Amino acid sequence: MGAISERDLKAFSDVMSLGSAAHAVVYGSRRQDRDIDLLIVDPRTSSHCYIELGRFDILLLSPSRLEALATRLDPVVTEPLLTGELVSGDHQAWDDYVMALRSRRPDRSCASHAMIRSLEETIHTQRIAETPPDARVSTDVSSIWQGLSWAISYMSFARLYTSPNAESVTLSSLIHDRLILIPEFWHSRARHKEHGTSPDEEESRRFWREWQGYLMQNGHEIEASDAGT
């Protein structure tokens, strides 16, 4: 079961009081020295939120919200669905759902959704990056780094989803197949994860400037693609 043990799962279930209809999926690195990433789909919730609970980093969704994101092949849910392991819930129903997801093919709405999410994350990150030095907080560097991860990955998925014969894929597949934008950012991200280090402000802002340059250089393509949706 990877990084999540029966003891971990029991502790989590006791705190969250998972219902019998809920599904819990563990994904991510699944290393014992890292936090545990969990996707929880629970019909008793109407929310879409992130929760930090001890070792657990939890994405909590209602079934309808899961379906809305899965229909658009949003990597927020396709990543745990395609790479994760069900640790609680109806295995047969879940396996059927994942199999159906693998057969879905992206359309223009998927590309449009990914592009909009990329631009939203870019705008959010820009506000942090342009914060005056005397008003910055200690988390700004990590927030820029996280924002770049989302903005670049969403735009990479948007480009993929407009290509012929595209299919639902994972972020690791994009990186491995060299379809990811700003590849050096992802190499650096992998190094930091491997060594348990964090990027400094200079590195974060260097990649932020590179991302800005990409958007300026390819703005006409983004506008044309958005207009065609």
Amino acid of residue 155: M
Q: How confident is the model at residue 2 (pLDDT cuts 50, 70, 90)?
A: very low
Q: For residue range 74-125, list pLDDT tens digits in order.
A: 999 999 999 999 988 899 999 999 999 999 999 999 999 999 999 999 999 9
Residue 78 CA to residue 102 CA, distance in Å, equals: 9
Higher local confidence (pLDDT), 166 or 9: 166
Region 41-51: what's the mean pLDDT?
85
Question: Tell me, what's the pLDDT at 6?
Answer: 56
Residue 139 CA to residue 84 CA, distance in Å, equals: 28
Question: Tell me, what's the pLDDT at 155?
Answer: 96
Question: Tell me, what's the pLDDT at 141?
Answer: 86
Residue 29 CA to residue 79 CA, distance in Å, equals: 12
Q: What is the pTM of this model?
A: 0.85
DSSP string, the chain: -TT--HHHHHHHHHHHT--TT-EEEEES---TTSPEEEEEE-TT---EEEEEETTEEEEEE-HHHHHHHHHTT-HHHHHHHHH-EEEES-HHHHHHHHHHHHH----HHHHHHHHHHHHHHHHHHHHHHTS-GGG--TTHHHHHHHHHHHHHHHHHHHHHHTSTT-----HHHHHHTT-SSSHHHHHHHHHHHHHT----HHHHHHHHHHHHHHHHHTHHHHHHHHHT-
Q: For residue range 55-88, list pLDDT tens digits in order.
A: 788 899 999 999 999 999 999 999 999 999 998 8
In whole numbers, what is the pLDDT of the chain averaged over residues? 85
Cβ atoms of residues 185 and 210 within 8 Å: yes
Is the CATH number of domain 6-103 3.30.460.10? Answer: yes
Q: How confident is the model at residue 193 (pLDDT cuts 50, 70, 90)?
A: confident
CA-CA-CA-CA dihedral for 212, 136, 60, 113, to nearest 10: -20
